[in-house]
Structures are given as C-alpha cells and as structure tokens.
Amino acid sequence: MKTIRETIQYILLLIPPALKTAMQDRRAFYSLSVFMFLQNIIMFMSWVVYFSNFSSLKGWGLADVAVMYGMAAFSFGIAFLFSGGTLDMARMIGEGQLDIYLGRPRHPLPGLMFREGRAAGFGDMITAPLLWVVFAHCDVWQLLLLTLCGLCSGLVILATTLVINCLPLFFSQAGRLNDQLLETFTIVSTYPQNGFPGMVKILLLTLVPAGFVAFVPVEAFKTGNVWLFLGLAAASVMYMTIAVMIFNRGLWRYASGNRMLEMR
C-alpha cells in the first residue's frame, strides 16, 4: 500500500512538468487544442446528420452517442494531455532510449509515461462538456459523474496504449504495428458498440477493452446501474495492473541501447 501511495505521489509530481512541456509553445498549444476541438465537433456532425434521418440506433439516440463521443474524447484527452510519453514508448524502446530511465532510482514507467504532455489532449477534453451539455442536456451532477467515468476510461486507454507500446520489448519486428493497433483501438472506441454482435461485445470487454471507453460508461450512465460504474472502476485498475505487469516482464527482455551516457 505504501508503494502505491508513493507511486501516486511521484506521478503527481511528474504531471506539472508534463503539462509545462505541452504548453511550452503557447501558440502551438492553443492552435492544436482549438483544431482538435473543431475536428471532434465536425466529426460528431456526421452523427447529427444520422439522427436527423433515423430515430435511434438499437435504442441509442443522439444524446447517447453524444455521451459516448464525449466520453471517448475526454478519456483520450485526459490520458495523453498528462501522459503523452506513453504514445512514444515503442519508438523509445526501439531506439534503446530506456537506458536513461533505467538508471534512475525510481521505477522507469512513471517517468516514461509522464515525460511529456500532448497539447491536443486539451482540445479533446474540452469537447466533452460541450457535447454532454448541448446534446445530452446533462446537469452538474451528471457532468461530475461522467468526468469520473472519463477518468476510469482514461486509465483503460493508458493501459491499452502501454501494452501496445510494450510490443517492441517482446517482438523486435513490431515496426509500426503499435500505431496501427492504437488507431484500430481508437476507431472501435469512438463508434456506438451497442449494435455489435454478442461475441464482439465480449471481445471488446476483454482482450480489446474498447468497451470500457464507450459502451460501459454510456450504459452505466443511461441505466444508472451502480454495478456498471463499479465494474468500470474495477476494470480500469485491473487493466492498468496488467499493463504494468506486462511492462515489467518486457523489461527483462530489454537489451540496452548503450545510451547510459545520456542519463541525467
């Protein structure tokens, strides 16, 4: 328990510098945020067009899709605004740059993940409240609830991204597979999953946990089912634990890039 507390304290110390890296170039930060926000809204308009023609999609209306789309935007945004380093880990592993982090007294993972922030994440995050308020007509308490769900989903996204970016530790030929896998995960996470067949839903709640980014939060919010909320929270902790275990296992296989001199 003490180790977990210390790790959380360490991560909290790493977040402000990560944010500073994201905001280092103010012009880039604001332009990336604004354009990310705009692209999310433009993409969502496709769903507005869809629901101007059809009343529902297997029980989901525009409000539900707005909750889902906002949830995906918020979770991806919060995950990478603070932990943009996770997206780059596969490249760092490939180039042997883990050495710099392995030489530090703390576990290398928090340092690697919270190495930098991604400005576009802020644009993603601010999309969510707009969609939730304008299209799903959420009140303050519902916004708070969705934000909590978003934090859990963000953790699932981070865990998945971490596992995907650990691939070069196990397969030297992983190449650009991590980018493609993450893109696939993002695609599946941002479309309504209630129309999927049962087997696919099971897959999305186990091996490819995109269901915890879109499907479970929306269903929990729609039905007010406490067990679904608890399940989401438990899944986020479980997936992050598994991801850390996979990273630790992969570290044993890591061959140094002989970059110890760059350690600082």
Partner 1 sequence: MSISATAGLAVFGARRAAHERFAIAVPVVTYALLVAVFASIFHATPLHELPKGLRVDAAGLIWYLVLTEMTTFIGGYTFSEVRSDVLDGQFTASLQRPVSYMQVKLAEWAGQRMVRASAFMTAGFVLGWLFTGTMPFSLPMLPFFAVSVLLGAAIHSTIYGILGVFEVWGPYARPAMWISQKFCFLLGGLLLPLSLYPHWLQAAAWVTPYPAILYVSGRLALDPDGWTVAAGFAAQGFWLAVTTALAFAVQRAAARTIMRRGF
Residues interacting with partner 1, by CB under 8 A? 25, 27-28, 31-32, 34-36, 38-39, 42-43, 45-46, 49-50, 52-58, 175-177, 180, 183-184, 187-188, 191-192, 194-197, 200
Q: Tell me how crowded residue 48 is: count the other CB atoms within 10 A of its CB.
A: 13
Distance CA 72, CA 136 (A): 15
Closer to partner 1 by CB, 13 or 38: give it. 38
Q: How far is the CB of 182 from partner 1 (least distance, A)?
A: 11
Half-sphere exposure of 136 (CA within 13 A, CB side): 26
Q: Tell me how crowded residue 105 is: count the other CB atoms within 10 A of its CB.
A: 4
Check: CB of residue 211 under 8 Å from CB of residue 217.
no
Closer to partner 1 by CB, 57 or 151: give it. 57
Closer to partner 1 by CB, 197 or 224: give it. 197
Distance CA 142, CA 137 (A): 9
Closer to partner 1 by CB, 17 or 195: give it. 195
Q: How far is the CB of 41 from partner 1 (least distance, A)?
A: 9
Q: How far is the CB of 196 from partner 1 (least distance, A)?
A: 5
- Tokens coding 197: 């067949």
Closer to partner 1 by CB, 5 or 58: give it. 58
Closer to partner 1 by CB, 47 or 229: give it. 47
Q: How far is the CB of 164 from partner 1 (least distance, A)?
A: 13
Cα angle 115, 116, 117 (rounded to 5 degrees) comes to 140
Q: How far is the CB of 258 from partner 1 (least distance, A)?
A: 24
DSSP 8-state secondary structure symbol assigned to residue 256: P
Q: Which of 221, 192, 214, 40 is nearest to 127 (CA)?
A: 40
Q: How far is the CB of 108 from partner 1 (least distance, A)?
A: 28
